[in-house]
Structure 1
């Protein structure tokens, strides 16, 4: 009886977890996004160098800004693609629906800090404070991850905290902003993705 009761309790707990949290997030999504981040960081470094600017300057060469902006958009789209692709694949494997009330909550909770951060980044671009952009994106991204922690795996808050810490350090070491950005969006994503994949596969 004790064994049967334990199995029933475990089953009920699993059902509650499925209903209250978005568990279709795949570790492969993080790994894919991390690879995109590493590649984007390397390409950005090359763009800055080839445009006559220096990575450790407060103000990058004007010729590099449109290219870096375009690179950022492409990297974002690719990261979103990997996130959607592997998440949908895991949902099908688990037999879970994608579009649920939890999904809507996650999108809203992600959107608020990310949209606010996007406006702040536009202001930095307008004032040519390019050296602050890397740290700013890390901080607002970290805040968005912490904001959705209650709706998905709790482990995501640690990634968010690390992103915020990196972003804050970057603001005081502006000349190395691209390095911090590459670590945050590249290395940390890959490490987190591997941990998530091994823990929840």
Structure 2
């Protein structure tokens, strides 16, 4: 069977997974990973060095919001986003310029599409602020500003070394089996959906009738 067009003739080399299989180059393309333990130790040491360098700040970096990924395929999941919106900071009563100085990521481009995500991130900010300890910038009594934590509470402060400052909540996937109640048996999901569809279909007409009735009442009273 010929090609459609003046294209390059395909030259697909179906090799084995480990490369050459004969001669002195036997298994020359074999990939090995014999330094797994060493890499693991190096990663652990790098994390410790980073945590010591940014002490007493959290080792995970900035606090980030909970967001739903885009597209219908992934939007049922929850992950960490780039930064908190200005509306979320406003609800939590945190100035946007001050938020950047206390380890809170800010993203002015993100928008809140629903009230649930807004409230979840506001609660996340409030939880963070309740656990936050602010060190004074300078020594002495004059170095302590409003909102700083007293020096008596800053003795032997433990650093947050978690991968996430406030972990993403994991949903409970398993639901225990139970008996169906009499109330559930008596209800009909089809009837509920039918009523909702009917209400949505006649909503505009009902609003129009209500406005006409209100205008008629005003005319009769006047």
Same fold (TM over 0.5): no
Give the structure with higher Rg (CA). 2
Larger % of helix: which?
A: 1
| TM-score (ref. length: structure 1) | 0.29
Greater relative contact order (CA < 8 Å, ≥ 6 in sequence)? 1
